Amino acid sequence: MTIDTPRAGQPAATAAEAVQASVRQHISEGRLLPGQRLVDQALAEEFGVSRNTVREAMRLLAADGLVASVRNAGYSVRTLTTGDVHDIYTARRLLETGAILKSASAPDALLADVDQAASASEQHVLSGDWNRAATASLDFHRAVVRMAGSTRVDAFFHNLVAQLRLAFAVMPDESAFQIQWVGRDRQIADLILAGRRDEATALMNDYLNDSETQIIDGVRAAERARH
């Protein structure tokens, strides 16, 4: 692992935040796989910071649920159980369908974001880049949740999605898994924009149920393979 150049958006005010952001990004991009151990001494040397600084970053990541910690034994990239996946999808159903129902009172700009995110996702599929398509699809869902109008809910959902990526990483064929959703994103977006909210929520529920089923199968297979 190497130190990332600070992202343009957030200049990473402190060293601990830079470490946190970098490790989080590595996890999101699948460069750090679930179960991977994170030894603070080693991280400190790689990032060129002190152990205390790494520890602060690890604590924050652990609070976010991305890193598991066992006292006096070590940190590691979290491995999600099937129970975790179900919990995350239960939360997604609540937030995403709820946000659709509240879309009646959402400002036009947020509706436009939803439309745009669905289109961006389609573009990446056409150009065959499933990895970007997957990211764009998640951005679409974040745009949906943003319609609810709460920055705190946005942040929570953002973290939920980051955790979900831990499960994506263990899917046997992630490209085939990811590509199938894009068309459904478009359908949901159209129903939202048309104001047909009940149909949109129904479709969203189907989507989430199907996605959950597949991921739980994948996680279960990975669990068995580990033993």
Partner DNA sequence: GTTGACAAGATTGTTGAGCAATCTGTAGAT
Partner DNA sequence: ATCTACAGATTGCTCAACAATCTTGTCAAC
In the complex with DNA, the residue whose CB is nearer, 40 or 113, is: 40
Restricted to residues 89-148, the positions that interact with a second copy (CB under 8 A) are 90-91, 94-95, 97-99, 102, 148
Residue 134 Cβ vs a second copy, minimum distance, rounded to whole Å: 21
Cβ contact 95:157 at 8 Å: yes
User: Binding to a second copy by residue 153, rule CB under 8 A?
Assistant: yes
Contact 4, 22 (CB under 8 A): yes
Residue 94 interaction partner, one of a second copy, DNA, none, beta carbon < 5-8 Å per kind: a second copy
- Count of positions on this chain that bind DNA (CB under 7 A): 23
Q: For the CB of residue 37, give the shortest distance to DNA in the complex, in Å.
A: 7
Give whole-number Cα distances, 205 to 20, 21, 58, 110, 213, in Å.
33, 32, 34, 21, 12
Q: Which of 1, 3, 39, 221 binds DNA (CB under 7 A)?
A: 39
Length of the chain: 227
d(Cα 91, Cα 157) in Å, to the nearest integer? 9
Alpha carbon of 217 to those of 60, 83, 179: distances in Å?
Answer: 30, 12, 17
Site of interaction with a second copy (CB under 8 A): 13-14, 16, 52, 55-56, 59-60, 63, 65, 71, 87-88, 90-91, 94-95, 97-99, 102, 148-153, 156, 160
